[in-house]
Chains A and B, each alone.
Chain A
Amino acid sequence: AQRVTQPEKLLSVFKGAPVELKCNYSYSGSPELFWYVQYSRQRLQLLLRHISRESIKGFTADLNKGETSFHLKKPFAQEEDSAMYYCALNNAGNMLTFGGGTRLMVKP
């Protein structure tokens, strides 16, 4: 069975500090992994996907199959990055399995 684990419910950092939101997964097939973000009072939206290997809003995430991880990183956090972040895995049926979410708070 597939599972996505985000071990931190809350991550609080100061503006300008590096950020790493952890995500681990278990899946028997070849995973498709994503990060979704939900800003306050906004809808959930796609932030980035592992297959595109791009940087969005300064965030990057590398799929590490050996460690079954897909951690989200940003070298310098901004206050506008404060939001709820969800790691998600797509199965063959096109259904997303989400992790429990991590609330990122960036303090001034």
Chain B
Amino acid sequence: DTAVSQTPKYLVTQMGNDKSIKCEQNLGHDTMYWYKQDSKKFLKIMFSYNNKELIINETVPNRFSPKSPDKAHLNLHINSLELGDSAVYFCASSRQGSYEQYFGPGTRLTVT
């Protein structure tokens, strides 16, 4: 029944590694998003993606890339992980034309 799910819930890895976080929504939504929440709880949009376009927040390093195998999934790939990438990453989705976004439970990434 989970509307927006993310795996894994926790991810601990070393600097320099490449990792992925998966996101799936079963709401039939058209648009999916990735957000980063830092240690001070500040929440920032990273990407917005639907089947037509990808919108990237210009502050996001190109080490981060979203990959969407189908409309229900938007995975986040991170290359060459850095200490500053440690954060909680939230996936979200929304129906086209609706401003309400449904959030996943978050993935806590720790880079050591």
Task: List chain A positions with a Cβ less than 8 A from chain B.
Answer: 32, 34, 43-46, 49, 84, 86, 90, 93-98, 100-101, 103
Contacts of B55 in A (CB 8 A): 93, 95
**B104 to nearest A CB, angstroms?**
6
Contacts of B45 in A (CB 8 A): 95-98
The answer to whether B99 and A90 have CB atoms under 8 Å apart is: yes
Task: Considering the complex, give the chain B residue whose CB is closest to the CB of A45.
Answer: B103
Q: What are 14 A-B pairs at a CB distance below 8 A?
A: A32-B99, A34-B100, A43-B90, A44-B90, A45-B103, A46-B101, A84-B41, A94-B31, A95-B45, A95-B48, A95-B57, A96-B101, A98-B45, A100-B42
Mask: chain B, 98-112; 1 = CB below 8 Å from A; 0 = not: 011111111000000
The size of the chain B interface, using a CB distance under 8 A, is 24
Q: Is the interface of B mostly helix, strand, loop or mixed?
A: strand
Task: Considering the complex, give the chain B residue whose CB is closest to the CB of A32.
Answer: B99
Does chain A have a CB within 8 A of B83?
Answer: no
Task: List chain B positions with a Cβ less than 8 A from chain A.
Answer: 4, 31, 33, 35, 40-45, 48, 55, 57, 90, 92, 94, 99-106
The answer to whether A93 and B106 have CB atoms under 8 Å apart is: no
Q: Which of the residues A43, A46, A84, A103 comes within 8 Å of B100, measured between beta carbons? A: A46
**CA–CA, A45 and B3, complex, Å:** 12
**B49 to nearest A CB, angstroms?**
11
Contacts of B99 in A (CB 8 A): 32, 34, 49, 90, 94
**CA–CA, A49 and B31, complex, Å:** 19
**B58 to nearest A CB, angstroms?**
11
